[in-house]
Amino acid sequence: MRALVYNGPKDVSVVDVPDAEIEAPTDAVVKITTTNICGSDLHMYEGRTDVEQGKVLGHENMGVVEEVGPGVTRLKKGDRVSLPFNIACGHCRNCTQGKTAFCLEVNPGSAGGAYGYADMGPYSGGQAEYLRVPFADFNALRLPGGTEHENDFTMLSDIFPTGWHGTRLAGLQPGESVAIMGAGPVGLMAALSARIQGADQIYVVDMQPDRLRLAEQVGATPVDFSKGSAEEQIMEATKGVGVDRGVEAVGWQAHDHSGDEHPAGTLDTLVEVVRATGGIGVVGVFPPADPNGPDPDMQEGRLRFPFGQFFFKGQSMGTGQCNTKAYNRQLRDLIIAGKADPGFIVSHELSLEDAASGYEHFDNREDGWTKVLLHP
């Protein structure tokens, strides 16, 4: 089958690889209809991880069940499904408590499993014609058949639940205000989630005009940090009071396109603008220290963080990968009910064969390249 593989920093290509197959009785094989390029893929693409050469990438997958193993009882060939980016066993201590991002079985000794990702287990990704899905009955979310809402449903595998998770980690309540760092796909999904949850004021910080326009489209107030400090702009807009909640949706970046070499600045800003006792949700990915890794800063694994100010203000912070299964069913039903349209961020739909150019444009954050979908 055809699949996109990692060759080295800024080098991916679509090649022939062995077909995805049933390897365990509880597996299914899914024929991919849509698979997205994610900001998380850029951590690998830009060479910030130790992902192995030849790995098939892609963790934002949906499609139609092609084959099921003898231990699969609920899913059937022909079912249209969304596949959470987390691979989870469903019965370990974390999974039984809904913490499927931190399954203790699928990637022992590490923190959870995922398709096509560095350090997240030996699982191939779905930027391919077919995908092997472990523990398929547990992991797959069934969707209505046909092709309706494809561009909305494809956000259920990761970024819509992840944006939602950011607001839940922050403890957002109806009527509250929130500042979201980053208007990438995840930040925009956090803004959409905040609006659906009844937030009052939503501020979205970025410097890319096209992305800030999309933030405005979901009812948020854009804050352009290239035109002055985000902190000052938010404090002025809130008459010096600050916001109730903050969401970090940028994560570790080699450079943040502002010339500031300290991406942890996003956390400094949130500690500053969130009111005393307010909450901060961090869904942007900050990888653990890797003494042998390619990024010298991450070899220390330390970030600048204004802990004294955070302590003094009595703030709280939630972090981590999204437990996709905790939210994807309800978010699917909001889409079906016409109450959520996460597909509004889709900017490009490419064939799988053109995936490498999709990576290049998205990585350069070229004007208008907000979210790229691949159709094998």
Residues near ligand NAD (CB under 6 A) are: 38-40, 42-43, 158-159, 162, 181-187, 205-208, 211, 225, 249-251, 253, 256-258, 265-266, 283-285, 321-322, 365
- Of 23 and 236, which has the nearer Cβ to ligand NAD? 236
Nearest 5 degrees, angle CA 128-CA 131-CA 136?
Answer: 160
Q: Nearest 5°: phi and psi at 373? A: -105, 145
CB 1 within 8 A of CB 130: yes
Q: How far is the CB of 79 from ligand NAD (least distance, A)?
A: 25
Q: How far is the CB of 117 from Zn ion (least distance, A)?
A: 9
Per residue in 341-373, is it b (16+ CB within 10 Å) or e — as a string? ebbbbbbbebebeebeebbebbbebeeebbbbb
Q: Which is nearer to ligand NAD, 332 or 371 (CB)?
A: 371
Question: Minimal distance in Å, beta carbon 137 to ligand NAD?
Answer: 23
CB of 363 to ligand NAD, least distance (A): 9
Q: Which range, of 39-47, 64-72, 307-315, 335-343, touches Zn ion by CB under 5 A?
A: 39-47
Which lies closer to ligand NAD via its Cβ, residue 159 or residue 373?
159
Calculate the CA 321 to chain-centre distance. 8
Report d(CA 330, CA 323) in Å as an integer.
Answer: 13
Q: Are strands 178-181 and 202-206 parallel, antiparallel or unpaired?
A: parallel
The listed partner (Zn ion, ligand NAD, none) that binds 100, CB under 5 to 8 Å by sort, is: none
Phi, psi of 48 (to 5 degrees): -90, 0
d(CA 165, CA 248): 11
Question: Which of residues 118 and 340 has its CB atom nearest to ligand NAD in the complex?
Answer: 118
Q: Minimum distance from CB of 258 to ligand NAD (Å)?
A: 6
For ligand NAD, the closer CB: 353 or 366: 366
Residue nearest to Zn ion (CB): 38
- The yes or no reply on residue 38 touching Zn ion (CB under 5 A) is yes
The DSSP H or E segment spanning 32 is strand 28-37
User: Between residues 55 and 79, which has the closer beta carbon with respect to ligand NAD?
Assistant: 55
**Separation between Cα atoms, residue 34 and residue 270, nearest integer Å:** 35
295, 43 in Cβ contact below 8 A?
no
Q: What's the Cα-to-Cα distance from 186 to each of 5, 29, 56, 71, 370, rounded to whole Å?
A: 24, 28, 22, 35, 10
- Output 101 or 223, the one with its CB closest to Zn ion: 101
In the complex, the smallest distance separating the C-beta of residue 145 from ligand NAD, rounded to whole angstroms, is 27
| DSSP strand pairing (80-83 vs 86-87) | unpaired
Q: Which does 212 bind (CB under 5 to 8 A by kind): ligand NAD, Zn ion, none?
A: none
Select 257 or 339, whichever has its Cβ closest to ligand NAD.
Answer: 257
Q: Is 158 in the site for Zn ion (CB under 5 A)?
A: yes
- The answer to whether the Cα torsion of 203, 206, 209, 212 is positive or negative is negative
CA–CA gap between residue 288 and residue 133 (Å, rounded): 26
**Residue 40 in contact with Zn ion, rule: CB under 5 A:** yes
CB of 181 vs ligand NAD, minimal distance in Å: 5
Judge whether 310 and 121 are in contact, CB under 8 Å: no
Q: Binding partner of residue 279 among Zn ion, ligand NAD, none, CB under 5 to 8 Å per kind?
A: none
**What does 69 bind: Zn ion, ligand NAD, none (CB cut-off 5 to 8 Å by kind)?**
none
Partner that binds at residue 181, options Zn ion, ligand NAD, none, CB closer than 5 to 8 Å by kind? ligand NAD
- Closer to ligand NAD by Cβ: residue 271 or 322: 322
* Contacting positions for Zn ion (CB under 5 A): 38, 40, 60, 158
